[in-house]
Amino acid sequence: MLKLGRFLGKYKLPAVLAPLFMLLEVCMDLLQPRFMASIVNDGIMGGDLGAIAGTAPKMLLAALIGLVAGVGCTVFATIASQSFGADLRQELFQKIQGLSLQSLDRFGSGSIVTRLTGDVTQIQGLVLLLLRVFARDTFIIIGSLVMAFLISPRLSVILLAMIPLLAAFLVITTRVTVPLFAKMQQRLDQVNTVMQENLSGIRVVKAFVRADYEEERFNETNSNLLHASLRAAKIVALNTPLMSIILNFSIVAALWYGGMLSEQGTLSVGSLAAFLTYITQLLFSTLGLGNQLMAISRAKASADRINEILEFSIDQPKEEQQPLQQPKQIREGRISFEQVSFSYEGNLEKAVLRDIDFTAEPGETIGIVGVNGAGKSTLVSLIPAFYEATEGQLCIDSVPINEMAPYELHSQIGMVLQQAHLFSGTIRDNICFGKPDATQQEIEAAAKAAEAHSFIMKLEKGYDTELGQRGVNLSGGQKQRLSIARTLLLKPRIVILDDCTSAVDLNTDLLIRKSLQTIMKSSTCLIIGQRIASVQQADRIIVLEDGQITAIGTHGELLQGSKLYRQMALSQQGA
């Protein structure tokens, strides 16, 4: 958790002022028993009403100062903790944006959401706890010990015997609860994952009448979370009663021994009352400290999960690679696969792609076809370095992609996926997502090229039409056309179209492909198509089977030389 302390660096002043104000409040609280002892000894036992009248204003003043100090502590602690949480959340989000798809797959979307929200909130709450409650209890424990010792060193022996026992108890419970809270957070990840999958696929669930199955699946993960939470809660539940036993035993012992000292005349009644107040404050603060250590245990589990992402290496170059002096840039857009193999698990025995070897020249259009699961989408995902090749080398303009600056690589590669993803906002915002300063003329030109301008203008607000989450108020074909327009606006050196016209009719598909040939004629273009009509005009077409290239050629050549391609073409012609 100490590693996250750097996020308080910009907020040192409020982080220091908060405990200082709390220290002032505690000092005022610690004076109250002494004032009470003075009233009892001098005023009540001594019959001096003037002593009572003189002490009462001092008690009131101390209470007012403590009140102001407590408010100041709360204000500064809140500023520090909220600012800390905001900065931590921001850096965590930025780090997530820099992770590769392979890394994101490793963590899982449900776990990442939990870490970005629940775990950050846990740590943020801990900072507030440390600056206020933890600081208060710590100061009261120390101050009460000092004040009790000043009143009666002999009676303070009870405290010296009790404190090691409490400390040992807290250490044991903390060590036991930390792994339990970590397990609980993992179970929470699973709940979030199931919930996200259900919400994103709610139409599929309803269409296949699988609501009962989804409820059962959620119930299972929710029950796992419940059981993990109860295991941790049982340990926490033991904390208060066991510490209360120690608390009550210490008070009884202090009364017994203090009464003996009072009878002997070595301790006044007022001093005994003050001592009992101090020991009660001390023990209650120790009890509160124990509860706070449970919160710290849970926050430690969250801190470990946050640090796992923050410390995760974005770029993991091979050992033999040397750091670059200057990042390489894409100037032509030549793509070269050199005996590339890839496995999601890093094990070539389970390779998804094997010995991929071809070169796409600048301005050339390459079609990629194959049955489902052949590895088409995986192949093009290697080009923007979403995944790293397990074996072989992928180069752009003769430069290995892992030697290119990520920003330069991604800024010159336009990718349109089959599952079009739109963001909440206006249509204009979505089209110019990659180029926020685009003019209206540029936006409309890109939309026209993607055959989207006509349907946009039919909407009441045109380009200012607000889209729901994921563009829910548009059809599948409309979303795909907006995604294509978003890419065409950038005019990148390399364009990747991953079956992005599957939801549009054949006529619109033909018009889009003609626009691409005009607008992107100088760009290297890779087109994945389930429909032969989408790729037959490509300069060359690659046929993938089980992750391997089995044929490369033009449409006419493949009709003669590739059995799979010929079967696909004939089946789509209704033959």
| Six token digits for residue 257 | 């021994």
Nearest to 367 by CA among 556, 529, 557, 523: 529
Can you spell out the DSSP letters for 465-531? Answer: PEE-GGGTTS-HHHHHHHHHHHHHTT--SEEEEESTTTTS-HHHHHHHHHHHHHHTTTSEEEEE-SS
pLDDT value of position 574:
54
Q: Contact, 211 vs 218, CB < 8 A?
A: no
List the domains of the chain with CATH numbers: 2-310 (1.20.1560.10), 335-572 (3.40.50.300)
pLDDT value of position 418:
73
Neighbours of 400 (CB within 10 A): 15
Nearest to 301 by CA among 224, 189, 191: 189
pLDDT by position in tens, the chain (length 575) = 678 888 888 899 999 999 999 999 999 988 888 887 777 766 666 566 666 777 788 889 989 999 999 999 999 999 999 999 999 999 999 888 877 777 777 787 777 888 888 889 888 988 999 899 889 988 998 898 888 888 888 887 877 777 777 778 777 877 787 788 778 878 887 887 788 778 767 767 776 677 888 888 889 888 988 988 888 888 777 777 777 787 778 778 878 887 888 777 777 777 888 888 888 888 788 778 777 777 777 788 788 888 888 888 764 433 333 344 455 678 888 999 999 999 987 788 888 999 999 999 998 999 999 888 888 989 998 998 888 899 999 999 889 988 887 777 888 888 887 777 888 889 999 899 888 889 999 999 989 888 889 889 988 889 999 887 777 778 888 888 888 898 888 888 898 888 777 667 777 777 777 777 777 778 899 998 888 888 888 899 999 999 999 999 999 999 998 899 998 888 887 54
Separation of CA 545 from chain center: 38
List of residues 6+ apart from 475 with CB closer than 8 A: 503
pLDDT value of position 167:
75
Q: Is 478 exposed, middle or buried (0-12, 13-18, 19+ CB in 10 A)?
A: buried
Q: Contact, 85 vs 124, CB < 8 A?
A: yes
What span, in angstroms and rounded, lies between the C-alpha atoms of 373 and 530? 12
pLDDT value of position 348:
84
**DSSP H or E segment with residue 541:** strand 540-545
pLDDT value of position 177:
77
Q: What are phi and psi of 529, to 5 degrees?
A: -140, 135
What's the whole-model pTM score?
Answer: 0.66
List of residues 6+ apart from 200 with CB closer than 8 A: none
| Six token digits for residue 280 | 């009660």
pLDDT value of position 41:
67
pLDDT value of position 68:
94
> Taking the CA of residue 2 as centre, how many other CA atoms within 13 Å lie in the half-sphere pointing to its CB?
0
pLDDT value of position 322:
39
